[in-house]
Amino acid sequence: MSDTPLLQVSDLIVEFPVRQGVLRPVDRVGFEVRAGEILGLVGESGAGKSMCGAAIIGLIERPGRITGGEVRLNGERIDNLPEDDMRRIRGKRIAMVFQDPLTSLNPLVTVGRQLVETIRTHLPVSASEAQRRAIALLEEVGIPAAATRVDAYPHQFSGGMRQRVVLALALAAEPDLIIADEPTTALDVSVQAQIMALLKRLCRERGAAVILITHDMGVIAETTDRVAVLYAGRLAEIGPTRAVLSSPSHPYTVGLMASTPSTTGNLNKLSQIPGSMPNLRAIPKGCAFNQRCGKAVARCFEDIPILEPVRDSQVACWLYDPATLTNTLEKTGATE
Amino acid sequence: MLAFIIRRLGQALLVLMAVGFVSFSMFKFMGDPVENMLGQEATVADRAELEERLGLNDPIIVQYLRYFQRAMSGDFGVSYRAGLPVGEVILDRLPATLELALLSAVFAISLGFVLGVYTAIRRDGYLANFIMTTSLIGVSLPTFLIGVFLIWAFSVNLGWLPSFGRGDTRSLFGVDLAILTVDGLKSMILPAVTLGLYQMTLIMRLVRSEMLEVLRTDYIRFARARGLSQRAINFGHAMKNTLVPVITVTGLQFGSIVAFAIITESVFQWPGVGLLFINAVSFVDIPVMSAYLLLVGVIFVTINLVVDLLYFAIDPRLSVSGK
């Protein structure tokens, strides 16, 4: 039990049939999440972060579907479960928090009723016990006067308060894993830190693991234990957060870090990666990053790189392949 | 809340005064009442004397206000054709129209809502697609054609239901109602379906598109992520959010059902105010026509008021206090 990771994603492929062919927003992504761990999932918009989250919890919008790989929760496969069994896992064992707290709550239903229905869907408790737990949850996420606010409607809460309610809803049935899809993007900067701290505290107290989907490197640095970098639906690099952030290996991660402003570096000039992420319809042959990579070698245009250990992390880049290392690095020099 | 109702009542009064002005103008511009009353033998002096007595020499606005004031107290004058006070004539016919409208509204709303929700949930199902295609017929066929077709099918060929009239009635609080007897109810089925078919398909298509819209929202996705059952999502969440826009249209549709029962009532010879109006038109019975116009105005205004109040019952964001 202890050596089985809480969540194992291997070679996950998500495909969408469209008129011109088949799009693949998630392409052979694999990672693990251990109990109580916080894994960051970073990447540009369209890199497949949210789609990964949706695939794990089984909420990919039709006509998209998982066409390859598997998702295991505590060792059991969950990606091929019948809808009704998957529904019992959602909210109970894996919960999800979405980006916009303003639209995540049904405006016509009191927050109390939304909490009670979630609790009673997953736990065999009476209505009054569920109501009591709903108030306790609201208190726990820091809603003042929870006993009266439980009967309020979502529009009577501010944005930050609503995201607290959303967290309470996600935690209602004590899930083992929370997928937080950009939980603070829609909030004021001042509130963002509070919500992140709250999420971190609640999960630590309950031993719940988190997959934090974000494009904010600051949030990644402060919050996560490990980080996975996605590019055009593929995993570029995954490893301990400190290792990936301080000594990134994949050229894309290197570029990403260089384009993140820091207080210690040069504040006047912010470097950027030339070009933009390829459209899903036009992913180049070989490495998806080859068009923008300054160090691409011949092989990068031929074969898709596979994840290999580099220092503390795992990196999908031919530059670290022993064969390439010997004949290229000595010519071009190491990372700048 | 009270202030809102009072404000809306004030607006309603303004609307009714405008409608009243139109129905008042009918007297002014359709035919000459003095001519009608005096006949061909009258002298110019007789005319002048009658005009003075009827107040026709007063300014238009004074005449209008007098008309409106009388109308408000239920005095619409005397029907040219029946020789009875118009208020009495209309009140006598109103229950027939209202019970027919009510039955057809119940038919249209309940079936329209159920089918709308069904076709939205089973968006790609065969039956749902079949219902959607068939509903186009309901939207596009004119009412009288549907009525005639139903008579042909169920009265002439199958002989199951009567083709005209109101059947037996039973008195309740002094009002004769057909809905209370089996025979009357049987007579009502065909006209009620005819009257409600168009509204039913309209409501169904509206409910479907609203429901599909709601099912795409974030809170439905979040409800799914919380593991709620499909049933709880569809009926506990999505349906409630579908209601607000649907109620607006449904309310107005009910107004149309009452107001435009004219065609159905003439096809089925249903003795309601619609038939009364058609007969009044052919006899140029202006007091009846103008009173009918005002009645329709009152019905629409009342329904609108009820619809506005229903919003408050459904959508907490509209409570005036806001908390």
Contact flag B226-A170 (C-beta cutoff 8 Å)? yes
Cβ within 8 Å, pair B227-A103: no
Out of B217, B227, B241, whose CB is closest to A122? B227
Residue A334 pLDDT grade (very low, low, confident, very high; cuts 50, 70, 90): very low
Predicted pLDDT of residue A329 = 52
Mutate to test the interface with A, among B212, B217, B224, B226 (most CBs of A within 10 A): B226
pLDDT averaged over every residue in chain B: 81
A2 confidence band (pLDDT: 50, 70, 90)? low
Domain ranges of chain A: 258-332
Chain A with chain B: Cβ pairs closer than 8 A: 79
Distance between CA atoms of A269 and A266, rounded to whole angstroms? 6
Inter-residue contact B230 to B187 (CB < 8 Å): no
**Burial (CB count within 10 angstroms: exposed 0-12, middle 13-18, buried 19+), residue A285:** exposed
Q: Count each helix (H run) and each strand (E run) in chain B, helices first.
A: 14, 2
Is A267's pLDDT higher than 70? no
Does residue A190 register a pLDDT over 50? yes
Nearest CA in chain B to A57: B225
The pLDDT-based confidence of B322 (bands split at 50, 70, 90) is very low
**Strands of the sheet with A94-97, listed across from one edge:** A94-97, A177-181, A209-214, A38-42, A226-231, A234-240, A313-315, A308-310
Q: What average pLDDT score do residues A15-29 get?
A: 89
What local confidence, expressed as pLDDT, does residue B323 receive?
38
Among A98, A110, A117, select the one facing B236 at the smallest CB separation.
Answer: A117
Which has the minimum average pLDDT: A223-227, A244-248, B135-139?
Answer: B135-139
Tokens linked to A124: 């065999």
A106 contacts: CB under 8 Å, gap ≥ 6: A114, A154, B219, B223, B237, B240, B241
- Quick one: pLDDT at residue A336? 39
Alpha carbon of A330 to those of A191, A247, A297, A325, B157: distances in Å?
49, 20, 13, 8, 96
Give the nearest chain B residue to A59 (CA atoms): B225
The 3-state DSSP class for residue A258 equals helix
**What does the block give as tokens for B263?**
């065609």
Rounded Cα distance, A287 and A30, in Å: 17
pLDDT tens column, B27-42: 777 766 677 667 777 7
**Is A57 in the B-facing interface, judged by CB distances under 8 Å?**
yes
Helices A159-171, A189-206: axis angle to 10 degrees equals 20
C-beta atoms surrounding A229 within 10 Å: 28
CB of A54 closer than 8 Å to CB of B225: no
Is it the case that residue A225 has pLDDT exceeding 80? yes
Q: Is the pLDDT of residue B321 over 60?
A: no
pLDDT tens per residue across span B99-114 = 888 888 888 888 988 8
* Per-residue pLDDT tens digits for B64-94: 888 888 887 877 777 777 778 888 888 888 8
Q: Is the pLDDT of residue A264 over 70?
A: no
Where residue A41 falls among pLDDT bands split at 50, 70, 90?
very high
Q: Does residue A152 belong to the interface with chain B, where contact is any CB pair within 8 Å? A: yes
pLDDT exceeds 60 at position B320: no
Return the closest-CA partner of residue A203 out of A37, A11, A57: A37
Strand partners, A72: A8, A77
In this structure, what are the phi and psi dihedrals at residue A183, rounded to the nearest 5 degrees?
-65, -15
Mention every residue, 6+ apart, whose C-beta is less than 8 A from residue B42.
B50
For residue A302, pLDDT beyond 80: yes
- pLDDT of B153-195, one tens digit each? 887 777 777 777 776 666 777 677 767 677 777 778 888 888 8
Q: How confident is the model at residue A112 (pLDDT cuts 50, 70, 90)?
A: very high
Chain B residues touching A103 at Cβ < 8 A: 217-219
Structure tokens at B86: 């118009």
- pLDDT in the model for residue B154: 80
List of E strands, chain A: 7-18, 21-33, 38-42, 65-73, 76-77, 94-97, 177-181, 209-214, 226-231, 234-240, 308-310, 313-315
What's the confidence (pLDDT) of residue A31?
Answer: 92
Q: Are A196 and A223 in contact (CB under 8 A)?
A: yes
Element holding A49 (H helix, E strand): helix A49-57
Does A106 lie at the interface with B, CB-CB under 8 angstroms? yes
How many Å apart are CA A230 and CA A237, to the nearest integer? 7
- CB-nearest to A103 from B217, B315, B316 is B217
A332 touches chain B (CB under 8 A): no
Using the Cβ of B224 and the Cβ atoms of chain A, whether some distance falls under 8 Å is answered with yes
Tokens of B169: 């009635």
Other beta carbons less than 10 A from residue B110's beta carbon: 13
Name which of B225, B316, B323 is nearest A95 (Cβ-Cβ): B225
Spatial CA neighbour of A183 closest among A172, A169, A199: A199
For the ranges A196-200, A255-259, A279-283, the one whose mean pLDDT is highest: A196-200
Mean pLDDT of A275-286: 84
Tell whether A89 is within 8 A of chain B (Cβ). yes
Give the nearest chain A residue to B244 (CA atoms). A108
- The Cα B84–Cα B322 span in angstroms is 52
Chain B neighbors of A121, CB-CB under 8 A = 226-229, 232
pLDDT (0 to 100) of residue A335: 47
Structure token pair of residue A270: 């912010």
Nearest to A90 among B225, B236, B237 (CB): B225
For residue B85, give the DSSP letter: B
| Residues of B whose CB is below 8 A from A169 | 222, 226
**Which of 302-321 (B) contact A at CB < 8 A?**
314-317
CA distance B25 to A322: 97
Percent of chain A with pLDDT over 70: 94
- Closest among B313, B197, B188, B305 to B244, alpha carbons compared: B313
d(CA A226, CA A94): 19
pLDDT level of residue A279 (50, 70, 90 thresholds): confident
Checking DSSP bridges between strand A226-231 and strand A177-181, what pairing results, if any? unpaired
Does residue B235 belong to the interface with chain A, where contact is any CB pair within 8 Å? no
Residue A186: pLDDT band by 50, 70, 90 thresholds? confident
Residue found by looking up tokens 């930050």 in the block: A160
Q: Is A307 on the interface with B (CB under 8 A)?
A: no
Which of the four pLDDT bands, split at 50, 70 and 90, describes residue A62? Answer: confident
Query: What residue segments make up the domains of chain B, in order of their start?
Result: 88-271
Supply the DSSP symbol for B153. I
CA-CA distance, A242 to A247, in Å (whole number)?
8
pLDDT surpassing 90 at residue B316: no
Name the burial class of residue B236, with classes exposed (0-12), middle (13-18) and buried (19+) by CB atoms within 10 angstroms of its CB. Answer: middle
Report pLDDT for A136: 93
pLDDT of residue A270: 73
How far apart are the C-alpha atoms of B121 and B237, rounded to whole Å?
13
Nearest by Cα to A192 from A201, A182, A202:
A182
Identify any residues that bridge with A315 across adjacent strands, giving them in sequence order. A237, A308
CATH architecture assignment, domain B88-271: Orthogonal Bundle (1.10)
CA distance to A245, A333, B3, per residue, from A145 (Å): 41, 62, 31
Residue A1 is predicted with a pLDDT of 47
**Cβ distance of A107 and B241 shorter than 8 Å:** yes
What span, in angstroms and rounded, lies between the C-alpha atoms of A226 and A235?
14
* Residue range A45-59, pLDDT digits in tens: 888 889 999 999 998
Element (H, E) at B298: helix B286-314
pLDDT at A325: 67
Distance (Å) of CA B155 to CA B108, B147, B158: 22, 11, 6
pLDDT of residue B121: 84
Name the nearest CA neighbour of B154 among B187, B185, B195. Answer: B187
Q: Inter-chain contact A107–B229, Cβ cutoff 8 Å?
A: no
pLDDT-derived band of residue A138, with 50, 70 and 90 as boundaries? very high
Q: Is the pLDDT of residue A147 over 60?
A: yes
Q: What is the pLDDT of residue A229?
A: 93
Per-residue pLDDT, B144:
79
Give the integer Cα–Cα distance in Å for A143 and A140: 7
pLDDT at A23 over 60: yes
Q: State mean pLDDT over A299-306.
A: 87
Question: What is the rounded average pLDDT of the residues B252-278?
Answer: 82
At A118, is the pLDDT very low, low, confident or very high (cuts 50, 70, 90)?
very high
